[in-house]
Structure 1
Amino acid sequence: MKKTLILWAALACACPGIAQKKHFSYQFYGFVRGDLFYNTRANQAPVDGNFYLYPLDHDYDSRGEDINATPNGSFYTFTTRLGIDMQGPKIGKAKTSAKVEVDFGGFSASTTMLRIRQAYVALDWERTRLLIGQTWHPLFGSVVPDVLNLSTGAPFQPFNREPQIAFTWRTGRFSLTASALWQLQYMSSGPEGASENYLKNSCVPELFLGADYRQERWLAGAGVHLISLKPRTSSTVTDASGNEQRFKVNERMTTFSCEAHLQYQAPSWRFAAKTLLASCLDHTALLGGYGISRIDPVTGEQEYTPMRHSTSWVNLTVGTRWKGHLYAGYTKNLGCSKALVSDEKYGMGLDIDQLCSFNLAFSYNLPHWQIGVEYVPTTAWYGDTNPANGKIINTHSVTNHRILGLVMYYF
């Protein structure tokens, strides 16, 4: 990390000279962020516990004590962020720009590492924009919760950045966006665990089509998303004699999701909401995945059925310098359209029937500072999977209480 900071310092010193190039301009930005948190039990929380999602189920030991009912907490600063926006010379009538944004939230076996958050180039005409590179997934969208937790509303709000080619067309108050996306840091689940291979072998990128309408303080929109995965390219089958045989298979799982969002922005308060019918969106930090609906007895080739979830959130913030944040999210497992023929399922949170969370936060905000505290109770209802429809039955609840302290310095 020391070498990385030296590199950025050298780049910052060099930029005044570089910026003298004709028609180029550069603007650095970022923040230093510290998160102090405490949980009453173990949780599904990637990024070393900073990216909080939901409480884990009971895990009883030989004496009937819940191993996961163990408090935990820590303090981290590795989500500190550095970025640069660049404006370049025109190409014909198109304005050119680029962005590079990094933080220290990449993980090796022993320490945090510098990672790319966003890296793209863009061409802007009067009514259209072409973006090529890595940036926010369109399901993350233009309406996002205002909370203190790093998870930014997940697992009810999609959270993902992917390499993509995105085209936006604007006319009056309307804008249309079409995107083709490929996976890299946020990956779908499957037989190999989380991997980009399922989309890579599919040869079909994720596809998104959405529309937004803006009028003064209002913003409303909707979108539809398609994902097509190839979970396996070969299978291994044990015959009656106990010998293993391998077969090339042609498997595919294709499904759609849709979303709608709304926001009202007043001078001293803001209301926002989003709802999704989510299908196989576990790579966007939502509950979801897929199961097996058929297995060929000879070759072992499998057919799949996606698990569907209804997920929604609402968010209200009041104030400017002293700000109150209220957020509520709810997810319901709707099951699948075909019966399951195997206990094997791929995804995140597929043994959860319902998930409910509330965020209550207060923050003090200055032009370059934010200091706040947040309380987040989250309850998950775990149970057994009904193979006839994929729904969760025989449920019991598990609750975690999370307290977060945050300090940020923006520049």
Structure 2
Amino acid sequence: MKKQLLVLLIASIALTNLGYSQSDETDKKFGINWSGFVKADFMFDTRQTVNAREGHFNILPAAENLVGGEDLNDQSNFNILAIQSRLKGAISGPDFFGMKTSGVLEAAFFGNSDGTTGELRLRHAFIQLSNDKVDIIMGQYWHPMFVTAVFPGVYSFNTGVPFQPFSRNPQLRITTKGSVKFIGVLFTERDFKTRGASVSQSGIPQLHAQLQFGEANTTLGGLGFNLKSSRPALGEDNLTSTAFIGYFRTKLGEATWKAEATYGQNMTDILQIGGFAIDGSGDFVNNETLSMWTEFSGDFSETMEWGLFGGYAANGGFGESITYVDGFLGTVESAFRVSPRIGWKSGSLKIGLEGEFTNAQYGSIATNGDITSTSDSVNNFRLLTTAIYKF
């Protein structure tokens, strides 16, 4: 850990002093501009949860764990963490054959696994080329189904998971400009991977195509299609999975309304409920999942903000007799969440308070491949207080 921090400090100093100039008529200055934030979260849960990083990334309430008639997961939990704190370097440089160039290098102290919580982790690292017609991104950036113009503004780091897609991926992305944008992405997987299968070993990258209409500061909407090939094991056939997304954002007076829905197969790489299985013929088959969310948000004044998030997910099962293989929360029949928030902001500091009520209905896989309820639903209420200091 100490070595990593030392490397970060040395790199920061070196890059800060690496500014260079292009000798032309305007004598443009190029280099790196550092920004980021320090974030402290205080979290109380009424129940044990399915989570990551010591409970910081909260997903769903844990299923019943009955011992002697007592549910051991029906117990509270409390934690304080600052591991979401982040450092970002925005890089600018000379043109490349007439296209403007820039880059981003961003890291946080979230770690790459539960065992590395608190250690430095790469978030984004990409090169961008731009002109008046197109933007090109090469490197690690958001999954195209995480739409940066339309995503929940919740204070929780889960950002609406498992109702909202969440992933960052190495990719090549091309986005056209104008009131109608085409977004085409060729990408693979790194930190967020398909459970039990490999996209890289399939020999075929993921492909995504999306149309986006309008402007984010007024009304914006879009539709997208995702195609994924993954190989459960060397020597096995590839499994093809598809996914669809639709979303919009608009102003309602002083408030903003956002909504999104996804429907797809085996979307565990974007932290959606589901997975894949083997059917009676020995072939791999996909699980299908529907997820949706909506959010209203706005400002009470220049110093106070509010928001209300709601999400729902339903597990569609496999549609045929199967033997279950792998997945993410694959026996959750359905789940929903309601999350109000209020924040106070002044200067570079924001202090927020958020309640997050989440219900999950656990089940089992029936002989026909459907997910059927086999236990009572479980609930968790998380009370989150957060302080965010931007620089």
Whether the TM-score (by the shorter chain) exceeds 0.5 is yes
- Residues 354-365 of structure 1 mapped to structure 2, 5 A cutoff: 354-365=334-345
Preserved CA contact (<8 Å) 1:291 1:340: no
1:34-80 CA-partner distances (Å, limit 9, x unpaired): 1110111111111221111101110111x111111121111011111
Preserved CA contact (<8 Å) 2:213 2:220: yes
- Residues 23-172 of structure 1 mapped to structure 2, 5 A cutoff: 23=28, 24-61=30-67, 63-106=68-111, 107=113, 109=115, 112-141=118-147, 142-170=149-177, 172=178
Q: Residue 181 of structure 1 aligns to which amino acid in structure 2?
A: F
1:19 aligns with 2:19: yes
Deviation at 1:92, TM superposition (A): 1.5
Preserved CA contact (<8 Å) 1:383 1:396: no
Preserved CA contact (<8 Å) 2:126 2:140: yes
Q: Residue 272 of structure 1 aligns to which amino acid in structure 2?
A: K
Tell me, in whole angstroms, the C-alpha distance in 1 between the residues paired with 2:212 and 2:39.
Answer: 32
- Residues 181-196 of structure 1 mapped to structure 2, 5 A cutoff: 181-190=187-196
5+ unaligned residues in a row in structure 2: which ranges? 23-27
Match of 1:336 among 318, 334, 344: 318
Tell me, in whole angstroms, the C-alpha distance in 2 between the residues paired with 1:198 and 1:6.
Answer: 34
1:229-250 CA-partner distances (Å, limit 9, x unpaired): 11012xxxxxxxxxxxxxxx43
1:272 aligns with 2:261: no
Match of 1:379 among 346, 351, 359: 359
* Residue 246 of structure 1: aligned partner: none
Q: TM-score, normalised by structure 1?
A: 0.88
1:227-270 CA-partner distances (Å, limit 9, x unpaired): 1111012xxxxxxxxxxxxxxx4322112110101001468421
1:298-321 CA-partner distances (Å, limit 9, x unpaired): xxxx31111111110001112052
Q: Residue 95 of structure 2 aligns to which amino acid in structure 1?
A: K
* Residue 203 of structure 1: aligned partner: 203
5+ unaligned residues in a row in structure 1: which ranges? 191-196, 234-248, 296-301
Tell me, in whole angstroms, the C-alpha distance in 2 between the residues paired with 1:370 and 1:5.
Answer: 27
* Pairs aligned (count): 380
Deviation at 1:335, TM superposition (A): 1.9
1:288-337 CA-partner distances (Å, limit 9, x unpaired): 21111135xxxxxx311111111100011120521111000001112223
* Gap change, CA 1:202 and 1:54, over 3 Å in 2: same
Q: Residue 340 of structure 1 aligns to which amino acid in structure 2?
A: S
Q: SS of 2:311's equivalent?
A: strand
Q: SS of 2:58's equivalent?
A: coil
Preserved CA contact (<8 Å) 1:323 1:363: yes
Identical-pair percentage? 24
1:305 aligns with 2:288: no
Tell me, in whole angstroms, the C-alpha distance in 2 between the residues paired with 1:16 and 1:205.
Answer: 36
* Residue 243 of structure 1: aligned partner: none
* Gap change, CA 1:200 and 1:148, over 3 Å in 2: same
Tell me, in whole angstroms, the C-alpha distance in 1 between the residues paired with 2:256 and 2:347.
Answer: 19
Tell me, in whole angstroms, the C-alpha distance in 2 between the residues paired with 1:313 and 1:96.
Answer: 36
Q: SS of 2:193's equivalent?
A: coil
- Residues 215-234 of structure 1 mapped to structure 2, 5 A cutoff: 215=215, 217-233=218-234
* Gap change, CA 1:395 and 1:310, over 3 Å in 2: farther
Q: Residue 353 of structure 2 aligns to which amino acid in structure 1?
A: V
Q: Residue 311 of structure 2 aligns to which amino acid in structure 1?
A: G
Q: SS of 1:146's equivalent?
A: coil
Deviation at 1:271, TM superposition (A): 1.0
Q: TM-score, normalised by structure 2?
A: 0.92
Tell me, in whole angstroms, the C-alpha distance in 1 between the residues paired with 2:344 and 2:153.
Answer: 14
* Gap change, CA 1:108 and 1:352, over 3 Å in 2: closer
Deviation at 1:108, TM superposition (A): 6.8
